[in-house]
Chain A
Amino acid sequence: MAEAAVLAPPRIRPRLSRDEWLMGGGLCVLALYLAITLLVPLVIMLAKSMQDRDGVFVSLANFIKYFTNPALTGAIGHSLWVSALATLIVIALAFGYAYALTRGCIPFKGFFRLVAMAPLLAPSLLSAIALIYLFGNQGALKGWLFGESIYGPIGIVLGSVFWTFPHALIILITALSTADARLYEASESLGASRWRTFATVTLPGARYGLISAIFVVFTLVITDFGVPKVIGGQFNMLATDIYKQVVGQQNFQMGAVVSLILLLPAVVAFFVERWAQSRQSSAVSSRAVPYHPKPRPVRDLALLGLVSLVALVILGILGMAAFASLAKLWPYDLSLTLRHYDFNTADGGSWTAYGNSIEMAFYTAVLGSLVVFSGAYLVEKTRIAKPLRTATHLLALIPMAVPGMVLGLAYIFFFNAPGNPLNFLYGSMAILVLATIAHFYTVSHLTALTALKQLDPEFESVSASLKTPFYRTAWRVTAPMCLPAILDIAIYFFVNAMTTVSAVVFLYSPATTLASVAVLNMDDAGDTAPAAAMAMLIVFTAGAVRLLHAGSSRWLHRRTQAWRGC
């Protein structure tokens, strides 16, 4: 034994370089940041769900109280079936739409794609407001509902379908456009009928995309608060119940209980979605040959019909909201006016709120892309502290599974605790920015990681051999080469910060009201036309920023053409 110990050569303990110390330190800072803005608040919320109003531990008493109250538990069923129905409709429509754009031979593909993406620019509230104008008590098309009321599940499903449509579409277009032409040729040469080809090649090829889209949409609908708040009437859902408990009854503990129940389907959806994503990407072989659709008149005409109809509905809803914001006094005086855009007379809205939103979105975009990109860089490139890297990466994935309202409530518990040294943030602009960054962290993080993985992994080795510190190479090579992705992340943060309601509705203060929240409050106060006006303002702003982004991307592409070599 002793002999063996002597013979075993000493294990080399690598001496850490300055780079590794710095990156390890950076990773610690990032982990701490994510812990503070995400993990700790959520854990505290978990604890709060087991306390009474005075903070005494009561075990599962709150849960028992919740589950013995049929008025509350009814929301679970409501949320589940409404979300399931909305998901079904969205997936069916989006699949047809995506199929038409990727596999059909139809004209104006670019236009149709653009129209389908338009709902991304609007807060989810906008569709609900437009639906009220269309089908509400004084609605233009009220008769279409055969006496049913739009206030309730019908309205929620329709509104949800509108705003989640592009989310499903993006996923399904990706899934369908990765088709391998060789499979289609094989199927055709075997004499398979078109339906058989569809069933044996198209559907299996897109199945992970479908699963992914189903769960993304389901999560979006079940965790959304804007649509049911505006158009849900007496029909209670989990998300609106949290709001009622917290804002209406100041019962934060019960709010935490409902939040945890809402967290459950979101977490399940998250894991299924991650699984489907990993299968989807591994299904694409690098040797796949892109598929080019051939014209088939009957099919193409049917697809064109479907696409036109969906596009028309989308434009109709947006148009309705725009018209509502301009009509003098719906439905009596339809002459156009801009006076609804003067929010002084409306209750709960103001141009200050709009200004705050721009400010908040700007900080979120700048700070968010900085944090996310540096974070992804550290996770990807640090060569030490593997467990910490993995942990940080997992932390970065959590937000996808956390509904905005739940995060907002968790922030109240954490930042508003009297003993918390970060208490000063409560009610400030900063907390809105932190919450929004945390809420939209995952997608940005994954975008940044993807961009970083496309670079040559040996850049850092070369840089170390040339004795250049890592931050210099990151600044001069890595970041410039990832600039398109960084711009994408910034714009994603900006637009979402403009449109989100759920993440910030518990956190704004009178001094920091936001445009999206103003839409909610004005609508709540019965000032529907100004609410529509504010919602349109958000659409215009987000649209303008998107245009700016498209322009700058094009400029960037031209400028960097020389070195991209294409």
Chain B
Amino acid sequence: MTTPYLRVRNLTKRFGDFTALDDVSIDLYQGEFVCFLGPSGCGKTTLLRAISGLDIQTHGTVEQNGHDISALPPAKRDFGIVFQSYALFQNLTVARNIAYGLENRKQPKEAIRRRVQELLELIGLPDSGNKYPSQLSGGQQQRVALARALAVSPGLLLLDEPLSALDAKVRVYLRDEIKALRRRLGITTIMITHDQEEAISMADRIVVMRAGKIEQIGTPLEIYHQPASLFVAEFIGAMNLLPALLVQQGEIQLGQTRLACTVNGFAPGTAVQAAVRPEDVVCTGRTNGHANSFRAEVRDLEFMGPFFWLSLSGGELGEHRLRAQLPSQRARELDLRPRDSTHLHIPAEHIRLFPEGYSHG
């Protein structure tokens, strides 16, 4: 690829003795949409504020478009920002809010007016220019905050949990809105979220953070299917974690069964955790035509609409508990009930191994 638009190198931020960011490095490419994802307090906002210059890091550098901006105040950087609280100026109309950054640049009034109208149309509120923020719904206010940040055509857009103050429906709708709008403008964007679904559905790449450090950077698919650590595996999506023993290269002992899997970096005889996504567990009922299969008993069935949650244990699984996602249509065919015994199949490439005793949470 080309050179990165934003290079963050070895960023560390300390608040007194507390290290909020620990040696964080990321590259962002022109036009990319990156999500910072992680549990509360892991340093997402701290990282964003360091990039924006609002709270400059203790060590490390930030380069934007080839320039070192590490020590520059926010006013000397090129970014637009939207906060969770929107921070709209309540005493100014929507139009004046959007025009706020333009009015400072000595542009002719008419040009400002046209630009504001253009932005109002862009965010789908062409007639709301004369309203005050408090007269708009939360989602509309959010879009005004976005328009205000975009008005000055910044090179980088920073969003700190822009959707978390909204209710679920509006959130999903705005997700698509922001995605479409961003794609149209092609603006490099960083969005903070602690909603993994949001990150997966919106981002080009996801930065998973934990306790001030980066756990993994990758596309949503990579993060989901090849989690680099147990933390990522557990944090993103649903995951079965089963204690197992690596009996030889490419084979684990799980309960009373042996399963093939792809392994790297573990010596035979090591106790490991096998991670399996519920949707990767295939239920074959009475038939057992596959390799990598075993038998277990249905403990519970929970109907979720398009699929069932299947709770399994016993049989060859022994004490272990396994959750599987069974498509509703398949469930009808199999006609499973609690206490039924069923065959299960897990493709080898869907079993990932992590070291045991890894501290998580």
Contacts and interface: CB of A to CB of B under 8 A. Distances in A.
A17 B133 contact: no
Contact of A459 (B75, B89, B101): B89
A4 to B, nearest CB: 14
Contact of B56 (A9, A12, A476): A12
Nearest to B77: A465
Contact of B79 (A11, A458, A465): A465
A296 interface: no
A180 to B, nearest CB: 27
Nearest to B59: A9
A458 B70 CA distance: 21
A476 B90 CA distance: 11
A422 B52 CA distance: 46
Q: Which of A18, A464, A560 has the most CB of B within 10 A?
A: A464
Interface in B37-79: 52-54, 56-61, 70-76, 79
Given A467-B101, A467-B104, A564-B134, A458 B87 contact: yes
A468 to B, nearest CB: 5
Contacts of B92: 476-477, 563
Contacts of A466: 80, 100-101, 104, 148, 152
A472 interface: yes
A294 interface: no
A9 B12 contact: yes
B188 to A, nearest CB: 15
Given A9-B12, A456-B87, A563-B132, 9 more contacts: A12-B71, A15-B71, A16-B73, A462-B87, A464-B54, A465-B74, A465-B80, A560-B91, A563-B92
Contacts of A9: 10, 12, 59-60
Contact of A18 (B56, B61, B75, B100): B75
Interface string B77-116: 0011101010101111000000011001100000000000
Given A11-B58, A565-B132, A462 B73 contact: no
B91 A481 contact: yes
A186 B8 CA distance: 55
Q: Which of B10, B52, B83, B133 lies at the interface centre, i.e. has the most chain A CB atoms within 10 A of its CB?
A: B83
A102 B100 CA distance: 45
Interface in A522-566: 560, 562-565
A480 interface: yes
A13 interface: yes
A52 interface: no
B87 A563 contact: no
A563 B79 contact: no
A256 to B, nearest CB: 43
A50 to B, nearest CB: 42
A430 B73 CA distance: 40
A7 to B, nearest CB: 11
Nearest to A462: B87
Contacts of B80: 465-466
Interface residues on A, range: 20 to 34
Contacts of B101: 465-468
B56 A461 contact: no
A459 B87 contact: yes
A191 interface: no
Nearest to B152: A466
Interface centre among A12, A18, A458, A476 (most CB of B within 10 A): A12
B135 interface: yes
Interface in A465-508: 465-469, 472, 476-477, 480-481
B153 to A, nearest CB: 12
Contacts of B90: 481, 563-565
Interface string B148-184: 1100101000000000000000000000000000000
23 contacts: A9-B10, A9-B12, A11-B58, A11-B59, A12-B60, A14-B53, A14-B73, A15-B71, A16-B73, A456-B87, A459-B89, A461-B52, A461-B74, A462-B87, A464-B54, A464-B75, A465-B80, A465-B101, A466-B101, A466-B148, A467-B105, A562-B132, A563-B91
B81 A12 contact: no
A463 B54 CA distance: 11
A563 B141 CA distance: 13
A456 B160 CA distance: 15
A20 interface: yes
Interface string A430-472: 0000000000000000000000000010110111111111001
A10 interface: yes
Contacts of A476: 89, 92
B85 A458 contact: yes
Contacts of A461: 52, 54, 74, 81, 83, 87
Given A12-B58, A562-B132, A472 B104 contact: yes
A12 B74 contact: no
Residue among A19, A468, A560 having the largest count of chain B Cβ atoms under 10 Å: A468
A560 B71 CA distance: 40
**Across the A-B interface, the 3 shortest Cβ-Cβ residue pairs:** A565-B134, A466-B101, A17-B73
B85 A456 contact: yes
A17 B75 contact: yes
Nearest to A563: B132
| Residue from A11, A461, A481 whose CB has the most chain B CB atoms within 10 Å | A461
Interface in B119-150: 132-135, 148-149
A468 B100 contact: yes
Contact of B73 (A20, A463, A477): A20
Question: In the complex, which of the residues A469, A472, A477 has the most CB atoms of chain B within 10 Å of its own CB atom?
Answer: A477
B110 to A, nearest CB: 20
A380 to B, nearest CB: 16
Contacts of A465: 52, 74-75, 79-81, 101, 149, 154
B91 A19 contact: no
A18 B74 CA distance: 11
Interface centre among A481, A560, A563 (most CB of B within 10 A): A563
Contacts of A456: 83, 85, 87
A11 B14 CA distance: 11
Contacts of B79: 465
Contacts of B74: 17, 461, 464-465
Contacts of A10: 59
Contacts of A11: 58-59
Contacts of B72: 15
Interface in A3-58: 9-20
Query: Which one of B56, B58, B74, B81 has the highest number of Cβ atoms from chain A below 10 Å of its Cβ?
Result: B74
A57 B134 CA distance: 65
Interface in B1-49: 10, 12
Contacts of A12: 56-61, 70-71
A15 B92 CA distance: 31
Contacts of A17: 73-76
B104 A477 contact: no
A548 B294 CA distance: 86
Contacts of A472: 104
B73 A464 contact: yes
A166 B297 CA distance: 77
A456 B100 CA distance: 17
A58 to B, nearest CB: 48
Contact of B134 (A16, A467, A480, A563): A563
Contact of A467 (B61, B75, B135, B148): B75
